[in-house]
A and B are shown apart, each in its own frame.
Chain A
Amino acid sequence: MPSRLGVAGLSSPGIEGSRMPLETSGASQPWRRALRMQRLAMAGLFLMNLMAVLPAILVIGMIVFRGLGGLSWNFLTTMPSQGMRAGGILPAIVGTLELVGLTTIFALPMGVLSAIYLTEYARENILTRIVRLAIVNLAGVPSVVYGLFGLGLFVVFCRFGTSLLAGALTLAIMILPVIITASEEALRSVPKSFRDVSLSLGASRWQTIRHAVLPFAIPGIMTGTILGIGRAAGETAPILFTVAAFYLPRLPKSLFDQAMVLPYHLYVISTQIPNIPETQRYGTALVLLLLVLSMNMLAVVLRARFRRKRQW
């Protein structure tokens, strides 16, 4: 380690010298040196920033560029045909939306209620600390593990089969930590004085949460939930074993139906079937990207709007 640091230290004056030859005359003055260091650091930080943004721009740019040609009203509203080599992706879009909607229905109440319990009722003790630790760890579990878990619990043990229900429950469990964490944060950001005022006016604890805390935490909860759902919408691994149909050119009719979903459909037409026109693949990728991005944008806009409107 020390030797590496030494090398870096030695090389840096060389870089400075070569990049700013005009200023070397004043190098003896310490403030000039400090200024130069500052400029260098700023340039470095800016470069890093650029490198963080660049991939996003490239990915979006490339997919939009290549996918736009495949996008048409027909593509969005018809069934796939000729073994997915032609036709549209309607069932995958509908499947994804239904899956995401169901996931929200399962995950939102459970997540918000858990967060309410953790912030408003639970005393700080070993048990709550274990619960918190579990939530943090759940957030770090690889998504394919959730997929296997969903297969074992919902598909096989609960006998839901490969179905929308099993997939939505699996995704719900996966995004639960996101929703709990976001909700907890939103609840904690409501000033304690609101609770004190409400309690002092003779409200019960639940009334206080319902009327003096929750309404002011909802924007934060919504933002976190949308981000979580956005993540769920783009996941492939958890739905692989629990809901996704390889090729099913009809719309799901019940909770126990399999469904086509965009991420898995994209995987299938990209790797499993030969001779698929590129527009099909990039068109599908573009639709998925737009879906997820619009959710994220919605979250950002909501957050900004509520921040502006916030009065305390």
Chain B
Amino acid sequence: MVDAAVDVKIAVRDFSVRYGAIEALRSATFDIRLKEILGIIGPANSGKTSLLKSLNRMNETDPAFRHTGTILLDGQDLYRDLGAQQVRRRIGIVFAMPLPLPISIHDNVTYGPRMKGEQDKRSLDELAERSLRDASLWDEVKDRLNLPAMKLSGGQQQRLCIARTLAMRPEVILFDEPCSGLDPISTATVEETMVRLKEQYTMVLVTNNTKQAARVSDRVAFLLMGELVELDRTAVIFTAPSDRRTDDYVTGRFG
């Protein structure tokens, strides 16, 4: 699973997560490569989201969170060498539910840069436009940027959240089941957006939908009860997995 021949963006080494007495992730070791989409699949409670949130320290909002092991971003330890704010600016996340703040579309998109200290209106406007274009939302909202974001449909809200993450100009984007609340057409739009973004960003996609993982991922990791069972190219995982449990899961025999 550890491969030195390609560019490694994030290296997870022997990483475990606990919430109080509950072990959510057991000693995971794998690499996330530069500009790939890594899918993470597995049944409920398999540790997918715990793993994902560990990648940008969003786990720390839970006071019971404890971890061991290391995660390296370009060789720097996320938990030792970098501050949580730095990490989150470089590794953005899109949550499962569309969560716009109850402010305008424009203010949602520019939230991150504004918090970083950007005040110039012109460059914020440009950034908003570029981010909304990249998230395939610009044409639908360009005339009503000052409208409350809550007025948008669910699919539009989720693309707004993607745009908001893009506006941070992150290096890595984490997706936590980004389509779980969306209809099939919105899902397709979000997936197309992700595939297009691959040219610029490294992405990690947690999904309950194995077909979605098959459609968009370059490689897929299978988690089961906090254990990383297998990680391989998407085609291998779905046609010739080496572990029996992976085979059972992707063919729908459980989970």
Contacts and interface: CB of A to CB of B under 8 A. Distances in A.
Interface of A: 123, 193-204, 207, 211-212, 216, 310-312
Given A216-B102, A311-B148, A201 B165 contact: yes
A207 B93 CA distance: 18
Given A311-B148, A312-B150, A203 B112 contact: yes
A212 B88 CA distance: 17
- Indicate the size class of the contact surface on chain B: 20 to 34
A197 B99 contact: yes
Interface string B145-168: 000101000000000010011001
A89 B150 CA distance: 51
Given A212-B101, A311-B102, A202 B61 contact: no
A312 B98 CA distance: 12
B112 A199 contact: no
Contacts of A311: 102, 148, 150
Contacts of B150: 311-312
Contacts of B238: none
A193 B97 contact: yes
A194 B101 contact: yes
Given A211-B115, A311-B102, A201 B164 contact: yes
A211 B161 CA distance: 17
Contacts of A203: 85, 111-112, 115
B136 interface: no
B101 A202 contact: no
24 contacts: A196-B58, A196-B95, A196-B99, A198-B101, A199-B58, A199-B61, A199-B88, A200-B56, A200-B58, A200-B93, A200-B165, A201-B88, A201-B111, A202-B86, A202-B88, A202-B112, A202-B116, A203-B85, A203-B111, A203-B112, A211-B115, A216-B102, A310-B102, A311-B102
B63 interface: yes
A149 B61 CA distance: 41
Nearest to A191: B99
A55 B211 CA distance: 67
B162 to A, nearest CB: 12
B67 interface: no
Nearest to B56: A200
A307 to B, nearest CB: 13
Nearest to A208: B115
Interface of B: 56, 58, 61, 63, 84-86, 88-89, 92-93, 95, 97, 99, 101-102, 111-112, 115-116, 148, 150, 161, 164-165, 168
A312 B89 contact: no
Main secondary structure of the interface of A (DSSP, over half): helix
Nearest to B86: A202
A193 B99 contact: yes
Contacts of A207: 115
A309 to B, nearest CB: 9
A201 B112 contact: yes
A211 B56 CA distance: 21
Given A196-B58, A196-B61, A207-B115, A202 B99 contact: no
A196 B93 CA distance: 10
A123 B93 CA distance: 26
A202 B58 contact: no
Given A195-B61, A196-B58, A311-B150, A202 B85 contact: yes
Scoring A123, A199, A201, A203 by chain B CB atoms within 10 A of each residue's CB, the highest score goes to A201
Contacts of A193: 95, 97, 99
Contacts of B63: 123
A167 B165 CA distance: 51
B102 A202 contact: no
Given A196-B95, A203-B85, 6 more contacts: A200-B56, A200-B92, A201-B92, A204-B115, A311-B102, A312-B150
A127 to B, nearest CB: 15
Given A201-B165, A202-B168, A312 B111 contact: no
A159 to B, nearest CB: 46
B177 to A, nearest CB: 14
A200 B150 CA distance: 19
A270 to B, nearest CB: 50
